[in-house]
């Protein structure tokens, strides 16, 4: 099933033309042949889609160039307008909510300490470093607190107070130091947003992202205290994920509306730490790597929920997958990266 779908002139009108890349090189919108390509090469796209169809866990695929969805495939699972669990890609969405909250004056900025919003849930005899954690530390996973993900995840979500539990984790690094991947750290962002605005994270997400972007944001689970899960279990449709990716590709603009503060995308795509497993960098809620000679920024959720943005090719790709795999080390996520790097990036380079 292949359909063309135009997202709207505003979404594709303002590309990130020539910013500095995450690797410190000037990104060029030109193809290797030296011309500004349009569309996707038909033969390469057909090959890539055929390969996508062989991936048994891949549910949906959207490939857009300049805001126009040139490939829309439902391989299995729900349709492209049905909200699906995006797992930890929620962290990228939450980082956008934080950026929009800064733009709206709910938060002062990334250097703002979070202790005034969380100190009532500090452990007894708290480590003084808790006072030094900033909004930016939470968004970049550099709070320094031990992880609540992986083997520690079950105990954390079974605890009676998720925020208190995350804040009581021992420090493994000073705030602003090493990247320690932890959904608990991301959940603290949700707690800060709730305390700073006196509104739920769900309400803020709908107001600051959903309404200006024209997308539906369904409810998602909350912790025992009613704080919406920060960093997991959000539900968005593949088409909504495409609009979200386009928001970042267009430097925080959705159509003619500025949703994220000017400069937020550039700050979010600055490498602030690296994954100990992949070596990929992370900024504010987004991962980054090089693929096919291009800077790629991506949101990543468990099981293969992906939003890829390749700014210099004006390319946005969404892939959703089975969100409940038993085995996650089967190469599926690597296959999705390869599908982008070896399939859709060359197709965009060559153009239509």
Largest distance between two CA atoms of the chain? 64
Are 149 and 228 part of one and the same domain? Answer: yes
Q: Is the pLDDT of residue 349 over 70?
A: yes
The phi, psi pair for 249, rounded to 5°, reads -60, -30
Give the mean pLDDT of the chain: 90
297-337 confidence digits (pLDDT tens): 999 999 999 999 999 999 999 999 999 887 777 899 999 99
Q: Is the separation of the CB atoms in 165 and 184 below 8 Å?
A: yes
For 63, residues 6+ apart whose C-beta sits below 8 A from its C-beta are 40, 45, 69, 70, 71, 315, 316, 317, 344
Are 144 and 256 part of one and the same domain? Answer: no
Query: Among candidates 112, 58, 139, which has minimal Cα distance to 336?
Result: 58
- Tell me the H-state helices in the chain: 9-13, 42-52, 90-103, 115-118, 135-139, 153-157, 162-167, 183-197, 201-205, 211-213, 238-249, 264-268, 332-339, 345-350
Are 129 and 185 part of one and the same domain? Answer: yes
149-202 confidence digits (pLDDT tens): 999 999 999 999 999 999 999 999 999 999 999 999 999 999 999 999 999 999
Query: In the structure, what pLDDT confidence band is assigned to residue 241 with cuts at 50, 70 and 90?
Result: very high
Helix axes 90-103, 238-249, angle to 10 degrees: 50
Are 127 and 198 part of one and the same domain? Answer: yes
Q: Is the separation of the CB atoms in 151 and 157 below 8 Å?
A: no
The total domain count for the chain is 2
Give 301's strand partners: 305
Q: Is the pLDDT of residue 250 over 90?
A: yes
Range of the domain at 140: 88-235
Q: What is the DSSP code string of 18-50?
A: SPBPTTSSB--SS-TTSS---S--HHHHHHHHH
Are 230 and 97 part of one and the same domain? Answer: yes
Q: What is the CATH number of the domain that holds 16?
A: 3.40.710.10
Are 211 and 189 part of one and the same domain? Answer: yes
Rounded percentage of the chain residues whose pLDDT exceeds 90? 86
Burial class (CB in 10 A: 0-12, 13-18, 19+), 108: exposed
Rounded percentage of the chain residues whose pLDDT exceeds 70? 90
Q: Please tell me the pTM assigned to this model.
A: 0.90
Are 66 and 39 part of one and the same domain? Answer: yes
pLDDT at 34: 41
Total Cβ atoms within 10 A of residue 9 = 12
Are 30 and 169 part of one and the same domain? Answer: no
Query: Among candidates 243, 256, 236, 260, which has minimal Cα distance to 107?
Result: 260
Boundary of a domain, candidates 235, 256, 272: 235
- The rounded distance, in Å, linking the Cα atoms of 34 and 282 is 30
Query: Among candidates 303, 317, 332, 326, which has minimal Cα distance to 55?
Result: 332
- The rounded distance, in Å, linking the Cα atoms of 211 and 287 is 26
Are 78 and 122 part of one and the same domain? Answer: no
What are the structure tokens assigned to 67, written together?
């805001």
Are 77 and 92 part of one and the same domain? Answer: no
Stretch 262-275: mean pLDDT = 97
Tokens 């038909």 belong to 42
Are 47 and 175 part of one and the same domain? Answer: no
Boundary of a domain, candidates 235, 263, 288: 235
Bridge pairing between strands 58-65 and 68-74: antiparallel
Are 116 and 75 part of one and the same domain? Answer: no
Boundary of a domain, candidates 203, 235, 267: 235
């Amino acid at each position: 099933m292949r359909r063309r779908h135009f997202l709207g002139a505003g979404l594709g009108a303002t590309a990130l033309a020539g910013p500095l890349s995450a690797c410190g090189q000037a990104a060029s919108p030109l193809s290797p042949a030296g011309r500004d390509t349009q569309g996707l090469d038909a033969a390469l796209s057909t090959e890539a889609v055929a390969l996508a169809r062989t991936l048994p866990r891949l549910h949906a695929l959207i490939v857009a160039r300049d805001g126009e969805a040139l490939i829309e495939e439902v391989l299995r699972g729900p349709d492209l307008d049905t909200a699906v669990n995006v797992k930890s890609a929620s962290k990228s969405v939450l980082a956008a909510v934080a950026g929009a909250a800064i733009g709206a004056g709910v938060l002062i900025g990334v250097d703002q300490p979070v202790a005034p919003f969380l100190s009532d849930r500090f452990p007894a005899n708290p480590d003084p470093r808790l006072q030094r954690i900033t909004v930016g530390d939470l968004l970049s996973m550099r709070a320094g607190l031990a992880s609540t993900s992986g083997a520690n995840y079950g105990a954390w979500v079974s605890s009676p107070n998720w925020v208190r539990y995350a804040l009581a984790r021992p420090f493994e690094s000073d705030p602003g130091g090493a990247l320690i991947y932890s959904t608990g750290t991301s959940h603290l962002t949700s707690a800060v947003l709730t305390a700073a605005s006196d509104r739920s994270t769900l309400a803020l997400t709908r107001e600051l992202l959903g309404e200006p972007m024209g997308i539906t944001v369904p409810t998602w689970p909350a912790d025992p205290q009613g704080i919406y899960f920060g960093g997991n279990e959000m539900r968005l449709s593949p088409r909504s994920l495409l609009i979200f990716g386009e928001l970042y590709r267009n430097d925080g603009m959705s159509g003619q509306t500025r949703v994220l503060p000017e400069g937020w995308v550039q700050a979010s795509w600055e490498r602030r730490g690296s994954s100990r497993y992949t070596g990929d960098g992370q900024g504010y809620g987004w991962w980054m790597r090089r693929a096919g000679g291009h800077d790629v920024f991506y949101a990543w959720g468990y099981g293969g929920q992906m939003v890829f943005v390749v700014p210099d090719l004006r390319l946005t790709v969404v892939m959703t997958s089975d969100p409940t795999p038993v085995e996650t080390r089967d190469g599926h996520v690597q296959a999705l990266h390869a599908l982008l790097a070896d399939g859709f990036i060359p197709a965009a380079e060559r153009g239509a």
